[in-house]
Structure 1
Amino acid sequence: MSDLSGIITFLQRAEAMKNTLRSGYTSDGRTESVAEHTWRLTLMVTVLGPEYPDVDIAKLLKMCIVHDLGEALNGDIPAPEQVEQGDKPDRERADLLDLTDTLPPSTQAEVVALWDEYEAAETREARLAKAFDKLETILQHNQGQNPPDFDYAFNLDYGAEYTNVDALIKQFRTVLDKETARLAGTD
Protein backbone atom coordinates (compact mmCIF):
# COMPACT_ATOMS: atom_id res chain seq x y z
CA MET A 1 0.00 0.00 0.00
CA SER A 2 1.61 3.23 -1.16
CA ASP A 3 -0.28 5.50 1.27
CA LEU A 4 0.59 3.51 4.39
CA SER A 5 3.05 6.11 5.67
CA GLY A 6 0.42 8.87 5.56
CA ILE A 7 -2.14 6.62 7.25
CA ILE A 8 0.31 5.79 10.04
CA THR A 9 1.07 9.49 10.49
CA PHE A 10 -2.65 10.25 10.75
CA LEU A 11 -3.16 7.47 13.31
CA GLN A 12 -0.21 8.72 15.35
CA ARG A 13 -1.61 12.26 15.34
CA ALA A 14 -5.12 11.03 16.16
CA GLU A 15 -3.71 9.40 19.30
CA ALA A 16 -3.93 12.88 20.82
CA MET A 17 -7.64 12.14 21.39
CA LYS A 18 -6.53 9.91 24.26
CA ASN A 19 -4.88 12.91 25.91
CA THR A 20 -7.49 15.54 25.00
CA LEU A 21 -9.57 16.11 28.09
CA ARG A 22 -13.23 17.00 28.39
CA SER A 23 -14.95 18.88 31.21
CA GLY A 24 -16.58 15.75 32.64
CA TYR A 25 -15.21 13.28 35.14
CA THR A 26 -15.17 9.50 35.30
CA SER A 27 -16.77 7.59 38.16
CA ASP A 28 -13.41 7.54 39.96
CA GLY A 29 -12.97 11.31 39.67
CA ARG A 30 -10.46 11.39 36.81
CA THR A 31 -11.03 13.84 33.97
CA GLU A 32 -12.53 12.05 30.97
CA SER A 33 -10.75 12.08 27.61
CA VAL A 34 -12.39 12.68 24.25
CA ALA A 35 -11.37 9.15 23.23
CA GLU A 36 -13.21 7.70 26.24
CA HIS A 37 -16.33 9.65 25.35
CA THR A 38 -16.12 8.42 21.75
CA TRP A 39 -15.62 4.82 22.91
CA ARG A 40 -18.77 4.78 25.02
CA LEU A 41 -20.72 6.63 22.35
CA THR A 42 -19.89 3.87 19.86
CA LEU A 43 -20.70 1.25 22.49
CA MET A 44 -24.14 2.84 22.93
CA VAL A 45 -24.72 2.65 19.18
CA THR A 46 -23.56 -0.97 19.15
CA VAL A 47 -25.96 -2.11 21.88
CA LEU A 48 -28.91 0.02 20.76
CA GLY A 49 -28.33 -0.40 17.02
CA PRO A 50 -30.66 -3.41 16.70
CA GLU A 51 -33.53 -1.06 17.62
CA TYR A 52 -32.87 0.78 14.34
CA PRO A 53 -33.17 -1.76 11.50
CA ASP A 54 -33.74 1.09 9.01
CA VAL A 55 -30.44 2.79 9.86
CA ASP A 56 -27.00 2.17 8.35
CA ILE A 57 -25.30 1.26 11.64
CA ALA A 58 -21.84 1.03 10.08
CA LYS A 59 -22.21 4.60 8.83
CA LEU A 60 -23.59 5.73 12.20
CA LEU A 61 -20.61 4.16 14.00
CA LYS A 62 -18.14 5.81 11.62
CA MET A 63 -19.86 9.15 12.15
CA CYS A 64 -19.60 8.73 15.92
CA ILE A 65 -15.92 7.83 15.64
CA VAL A 66 -15.06 10.98 13.66
CA HIS A 67 -17.49 13.48 15.25
CA ASP A 68 -14.91 14.88 17.72
CA LEU A 69 -11.75 14.04 15.78
CA GLY A 70 -10.90 17.70 15.16
CA GLU A 71 -10.61 18.16 18.92
CA ALA A 72 -7.35 16.18 18.83
CA LEU A 73 -5.53 19.34 17.75
CA ASN A 74 -7.02 22.17 19.82
CA GLY A 75 -9.07 20.48 22.50
CA ASP A 76 -12.67 20.31 23.57
CA ILE A 77 -14.85 23.30 24.36
CA PRO A 78 -17.18 22.45 27.27
CA ALA A 79 -20.86 22.64 26.32
CA PRO A 80 -21.66 25.66 28.53
CA GLU A 81 -18.91 27.64 26.76
CA GLN A 82 -19.94 26.66 23.23
CA VAL A 83 -22.64 29.33 23.09
CA GLU A 84 -20.03 32.05 23.57
CA GLN A 85 -17.70 30.51 20.97
CA GLY A 86 -19.96 30.20 17.94
CA ASP A 87 -17.07 29.37 15.62
CA LYS A 88 -16.58 25.90 17.17
CA PRO A 89 -17.75 23.98 14.06
CA ASP A 90 -15.54 26.05 11.74
CA ARG A 91 -12.52 25.60 13.98
CA GLU A 92 -13.10 21.87 14.42
CA ARG A 93 -13.55 21.36 10.68
CA ALA A 94 -10.31 23.23 9.93
CA ASP A 95 -8.54 21.09 12.55
CA LEU A 96 -10.06 17.96 11.04
CA LEU A 97 -8.75 18.91 7.59
CA ASP A 98 -5.31 19.51 9.08
CA LEU A 99 -5.37 16.24 11.04
CA THR A 100 -6.43 14.19 8.02
CA ASP A 101 -4.14 15.83 5.45
CA THR A 102 -1.78 12.83 5.32
CA LEU A 103 -4.57 10.39 4.46
CA PRO A 104 -5.20 9.27 0.90
CA PRO A 105 -7.52 11.87 -0.70
CA SER A 106 -10.47 9.49 -0.92
CA THR A 107 -10.12 8.48 2.74
CA GLN A 108 -9.82 12.09 3.84
CA ALA A 109 -12.90 12.95 1.77
CA GLU A 110 -14.87 10.13 3.45
CA VAL A 111 -13.88 11.23 6.96
CA VAL A 112 -14.68 14.88 6.26
CA ALA A 113 -17.98 13.97 4.58
CA LEU A 114 -19.01 11.95 7.65
CA TRP A 115 -18.09 14.89 9.90
CA ASP A 116 -19.99 17.33 7.68
CA GLU A 117 -23.05 15.07 7.67
CA TYR A 118 -22.91 14.81 11.48
CA GLU A 119 -22.60 18.57 11.81
CA ALA A 120 -25.55 19.23 9.46
CA ALA A 121 -27.75 16.71 11.35
CA GLU A 122 -30.07 16.26 8.38
CA THR A 123 -29.91 12.49 7.82
CA ARG A 124 -31.34 9.82 10.13
CA GLU A 125 -27.82 8.61 10.98
CA ALA A 126 -26.61 12.13 11.78
CA ARG A 127 -29.61 12.92 13.96
CA LEU A 128 -29.07 9.69 15.88
CA ALA A 129 -25.35 10.39 16.22
CA LYS A 130 -26.16 13.83 17.68
CA ALA A 131 -28.75 12.33 20.03
CA PHE A 132 -26.47 9.57 21.29
CA ASP A 133 -23.61 12.08 21.67
CA LYS A 134 -25.73 14.27 23.94
CA LEU A 135 -27.07 11.28 25.88
CA GLU A 136 -23.57 9.90 26.45
CA THR A 137 -22.42 13.26 27.77
CA ILE A 138 -25.33 13.51 30.20
CA LEU A 139 -24.87 9.88 31.26
CA GLN A 140 -21.22 10.58 32.06
CA HIS A 141 -22.05 13.77 33.94
CA ASN A 142 -24.58 11.85 36.05
CA GLN A 143 -22.18 8.97 36.66
CA GLY A 144 -19.00 10.99 37.14
CA GLN A 145 -17.45 11.98 40.42
CA ASN A 146 -17.78 15.70 39.75
CA PRO A 147 -16.57 18.67 41.79
CA PRO A 148 -19.02 20.08 44.36
CA ASP A 149 -19.89 23.08 42.17
CA PHE A 150 -20.76 20.98 39.11
CA ASP A 151 -23.84 22.40 37.33
CA TYR A 152 -26.09 19.37 36.88
CA ALA A 153 -29.08 21.60 36.07
CA PHE A 154 -27.37 22.64 32.82
CA ASN A 155 -27.96 19.12 31.52
CA LEU A 156 -31.73 19.37 31.90
CA ASP A 157 -31.79 21.47 28.71
CA TYR A 158 -28.52 20.31 27.14
CA GLY A 159 -29.03 18.84 23.68
CA ALA A 160 -32.82 18.82 24.01
CA GLU A 161 -33.23 19.75 20.34
CA TYR A 162 -31.36 16.56 19.38
CA THR A 163 -32.89 14.10 21.84
CA ASN A 164 -36.48 14.19 20.64
CA VAL A 165 -35.92 12.14 17.47
CA ASP A 166 -37.85 9.01 18.43
CA ALA A 167 -39.49 7.14 21.32
CA LEU A 168 -36.36 5.23 22.42
CA ILE A 169 -34.20 8.36 22.56
CA LYS A 170 -36.95 10.22 24.45
CA GLN A 171 -37.27 7.35 26.92
CA PHE A 172 -33.49 7.27 27.44
CA ARG A 173 -33.51 11.05 27.95
CA THR A 174 -36.36 10.82 30.48
CA VAL A 175 -34.40 8.32 32.58
CA LEU A 176 -31.31 10.55 32.47
CA ASP A 177 -33.29 13.70 33.24
CA LYS A 178 -34.75 12.09 36.38
CA GLU A 179 -31.26 11.31 37.63
CA THR A 180 -30.00 14.75 36.59
CA ALA A 181 -32.83 16.46 38.48
CA ARG A 182 -32.04 14.40 41.57
CA LEU A 183 -28.35 15.33 41.37
CA ALA A 184 -29.23 19.00 40.76
CA GLY A 185 -31.61 18.98 43.71
CA THR A 186 -34.56 20.02 41.55
CA ASP A 187 -36.59 16.78 41.66
Structure 2
Amino acid sequence: MTTEEHVVLVDRDGHALGTAPKTAVHRHDTPLHLAFSSYVFDQDGRVLLTRRADHKITWPGVWTNSCCGHPLPGEALDHAVLRRLSYELGLSVARADLMLPTFAYRAAMTNGIVEHELCPVYRVTVGSPVTPNPDEVGQTRWMPWKEFVDGVQNGLLAVSPWCREQVPLLTGLGADPTMWQPAPAADLPPAARL
Protein backbone atom coordinates (compact mmCIF):
# COMPACT_ATOMS: atom_id res chain seq x y z
CA MET A 1 0.00 0.00 0.00
CA THR A 2 1.38 3.41 -1.00
CA THR A 3 0.94 6.36 1.30
CA GLU A 4 0.20 9.72 -0.26
CA GLU A 5 3.05 12.23 -0.32
CA HIS A 6 2.57 15.26 1.94
CA VAL A 7 4.07 18.75 1.76
CA VAL A 8 4.97 21.10 4.62
CA LEU A 9 2.70 24.15 4.94
CA VAL A 10 4.39 27.32 6.19
CA ASP A 11 3.51 30.85 7.24
CA ARG A 12 5.04 34.01 5.72
CA ASP A 13 7.94 33.82 8.16
CA GLY A 14 8.74 30.24 7.18
CA HIS A 15 7.42 28.49 10.30
CA ALA A 16 5.76 25.12 9.77
CA LEU A 17 1.97 25.11 10.12
CA GLY A 18 1.38 21.43 9.42
CA THR A 19 1.17 19.24 6.34
CA ALA A 20 -1.23 18.59 3.48
CA PRO A 21 -1.47 15.95 0.75
CA LYS A 22 0.57 17.04 -2.27
CA THR A 23 -2.33 16.21 -4.58
CA ALA A 24 -4.61 18.62 -2.70
CA VAL A 25 -2.21 21.57 -2.53
CA HIS A 26 -1.87 22.88 -6.10
CA ARG A 27 -5.18 24.56 -6.88
CA HIS A 28 -6.68 28.05 -7.22
CA ASP A 29 -5.99 28.97 -3.58
CA THR A 30 -2.72 27.12 -3.07
CA PRO A 31 -1.37 27.64 0.47
CA LEU A 32 2.25 28.65 0.97
CA HIS A 33 4.35 25.49 1.30
CA LEU A 34 7.97 24.40 1.43
CA ALA A 35 9.72 23.41 -1.80
CA PHE A 36 13.14 23.68 -3.48
CA SER A 37 14.68 24.45 -6.85
CA SER A 38 18.04 23.17 -8.05
CA TYR A 39 20.42 24.07 -10.85
CA VAL A 40 22.65 21.24 -12.05
CA PHE A 41 25.98 22.16 -13.66
CA ASP A 42 28.48 19.96 -15.48
CA GLN A 43 32.28 20.20 -15.33
CA ASP A 44 32.23 22.75 -18.19
CA GLY A 45 29.90 25.10 -16.30
CA ARG A 46 26.87 24.35 -18.46
CA VAL A 47 23.47 24.32 -16.77
CA LEU A 48 20.99 21.49 -17.25
CA LEU A 49 17.55 22.66 -18.37
CA THR A 50 14.54 20.37 -18.23
CA ARG A 51 11.20 20.53 -19.98
CA ARG A 52 8.45 19.50 -17.60
CA ALA A 53 6.48 16.42 -18.64
CA ASP A 54 3.32 17.24 -20.59
CA HIS A 55 1.05 15.62 -17.98
CA LYS A 56 2.32 17.68 -15.00
CA ILE A 57 -0.41 19.60 -13.15
CA THR A 58 1.60 22.82 -13.00
CA TRP A 59 3.37 24.28 -16.01
CA PRO A 60 3.26 21.14 -18.20
CA GLY A 61 5.69 21.16 -21.13
CA VAL A 62 7.48 24.30 -19.89
CA TRP A 63 11.28 24.62 -19.82
CA THR A 64 12.73 25.29 -16.39
CA ASN A 65 15.77 24.82 -14.17
CA SER A 66 17.14 21.33 -13.59
CA CYS A 67 14.90 19.96 -10.86
CA CYS A 68 12.25 21.17 -8.43
CA GLY A 69 10.31 19.41 -5.72
CA HIS A 70 9.09 19.28 -2.15
CA PRO A 71 10.76 17.90 0.97
CA LEU A 72 8.83 15.24 2.82
CA PRO A 73 7.78 16.20 6.36
CA GLY A 74 10.90 15.90 8.52
CA GLU A 75 13.26 15.62 5.53
CA ALA A 76 16.23 17.99 5.21
CA LEU A 77 15.97 20.14 2.08
CA ASP A 78 19.38 19.16 0.71
CA HIS A 79 18.42 15.48 1.08
CA ALA A 80 15.18 16.19 -0.80
CA VAL A 81 17.22 17.75 -3.63
CA LEU A 82 19.41 14.63 -3.89
CA ARG A 83 16.39 12.31 -3.71
CA ARG A 84 14.56 14.12 -6.52
CA LEU A 85 17.68 14.39 -8.71
CA SER A 86 18.01 10.62 -8.48
CA TYR A 87 14.31 10.02 -9.20
CA GLU A 88 13.81 12.60 -11.97
CA LEU A 89 17.20 12.56 -13.68
CA GLY A 90 18.97 9.37 -12.58
CA LEU A 91 21.77 11.39 -10.98
CA SER A 92 23.70 10.15 -7.99
CA VAL A 93 25.01 13.28 -6.28
CA ALA A 94 27.01 13.63 -3.06
CA ARG A 95 25.94 17.14 -2.09
CA ALA A 96 23.77 20.13 -2.91
CA ASP A 97 24.96 23.67 -2.09
CA LEU A 98 22.45 26.19 -0.74
CA MET A 99 22.47 29.39 -2.82
CA LEU A 100 19.23 31.32 -2.20
CA PRO A 101 17.92 30.28 1.24
CA THR A 102 14.77 32.43 1.37
CA PHE A 103 13.52 32.57 -2.23
CA ALA A 104 9.71 32.54 -2.43
CA TYR A 105 7.23 33.11 -5.23
CA ARG A 106 3.60 32.92 -6.24
CA ALA A 107 2.57 32.31 -9.85
CA ALA A 108 -0.80 31.54 -11.45
CA MET A 109 -1.39 29.56 -14.63
CA THR A 110 -3.96 30.72 -17.19
CA ASN A 111 -6.35 28.03 -15.90
CA GLY A 112 -6.13 29.52 -12.39
CA ILE A 113 -3.94 26.85 -10.77
CA VAL A 114 -1.39 28.50 -8.50
CA GLU A 115 2.12 27.67 -7.31
CA HIS A 116 2.86 29.35 -3.96
CA GLU A 117 6.16 28.23 -2.54
CA LEU A 118 8.89 29.08 -0.09
CA CYS A 119 11.55 27.63 -2.34
CA PRO A 120 15.25 27.72 -1.38
CA VAL A 121 17.55 27.31 -4.39
CA TYR A 122 20.48 24.89 -4.62
CA ARG A 123 23.48 24.37 -6.91
CA VAL A 124 24.66 20.87 -7.82
CA THR A 125 27.67 19.81 -9.89
CA VAL A 126 27.71 16.46 -11.69
CA GLY A 127 30.08 14.46 -13.83
CA SER A 128 27.70 11.66 -14.86
CA PRO A 129 25.16 11.43 -17.68
CA VAL A 130 21.50 12.26 -17.18
CA THR A 131 18.78 9.61 -17.45
CA PRO A 132 15.46 11.49 -17.43
CA ASN A 133 12.38 9.86 -15.90
CA PRO A 134 9.57 10.39 -18.47
CA ASP A 135 7.03 10.62 -15.65
CA GLU A 136 8.69 13.91 -14.67
CA VAL A 137 10.83 15.20 -17.54
CA GLY A 138 9.89 15.57 -21.21
CA GLN A 139 13.28 16.71 -22.47
CA THR A 140 16.70 17.91 -21.26
CA ARG A 141 19.24 20.34 -22.64
CA TRP A 142 22.67 21.50 -21.49
CA MET A 143 23.40 25.19 -22.07
CA PRO A 144 26.31 27.51 -21.23
CA TRP A 145 25.29 29.55 -18.18
CA LYS A 146 25.84 32.96 -19.84
CA GLU A 147 23.80 31.93 -22.88
CA PHE A 148 21.01 30.73 -20.60
CA VAL A 149 21.03 33.92 -18.51
CA ASP A 150 21.06 36.15 -21.59
CA GLY A 151 18.20 34.18 -23.14
CA VAL A 152 16.06 34.45 -20.00
CA GLN A 153 16.81 38.12 -19.33
CA ASN A 154 16.26 39.17 -22.96
CA GLY A 155 12.99 37.22 -23.20
CA LEU A 156 14.38 34.94 -25.93
CA LEU A 157 14.12 31.83 -23.77
CA ALA A 158 10.72 31.03 -22.26
CA VAL A 159 11.06 29.41 -18.84
CA SER A 160 8.89 28.78 -15.79
CA PRO A 161 7.97 31.84 -13.71
CA TRP A 162 10.04 30.71 -10.72
CA CYS A 163 13.10 30.16 -12.91
CA ARG A 164 12.66 33.62 -14.47
CA GLU A 165 12.62 35.17 -10.96
CA GLN A 166 15.60 33.12 -9.74
CA VAL A 167 18.00 33.94 -12.60
CA PRO A 168 18.68 37.59 -11.67
CA LEU A 169 19.16 36.61 -8.03
CA LEU A 170 21.65 33.92 -9.01
CA THR A 171 23.56 36.22 -11.35
CA GLY A 172 23.86 38.57 -8.37
CA LEU A 173 26.08 35.90 -6.79
CA GLY A 174 28.63 36.31 -9.60
CA ALA A 175 29.12 35.56 -13.28
CA ASP A 176 30.71 32.14 -12.72
CA PRO A 177 28.37 29.60 -11.04
CA THR A 178 31.33 27.46 -9.95
CA MET A 179 32.53 30.38 -7.82
CA TRP A 180 29.25 31.12 -6.02
CA GLN A 181 29.68 30.98 -2.26
CA PRO A 182 27.07 28.75 -0.57
CA ALA A 183 24.79 30.32 2.01
CA PRO A 184 24.81 28.98 5.58
CA ALA A 185 22.06 26.51 6.44
CA ALA A 186 21.17 28.79 9.36
CA ASP A 187 19.74 31.25 6.79
CA LEU A 188 17.05 28.74 5.77
CA PRO A 189 13.45 29.39 6.90
CA PRO A 190 12.69 27.81 10.30
CA ALA A 191 10.61 24.98 8.78
CA ALA A 192 13.61 23.95 6.64
CA ARG A 193 16.15 23.91 9.48
CA LEU A 194 16.38 20.31 10.63
TM-score bucket of the superposed structures, by smaller chain: under 0.3
Q: Please, what TM-score do these two structures have when normalized by structure 1?
A: 0.25
Question: Higher strand share goes to which structure?
Answer: 2
Question: Higher helix share goes to which structure?
Answer: 1
- Which has the larger Rg? 1
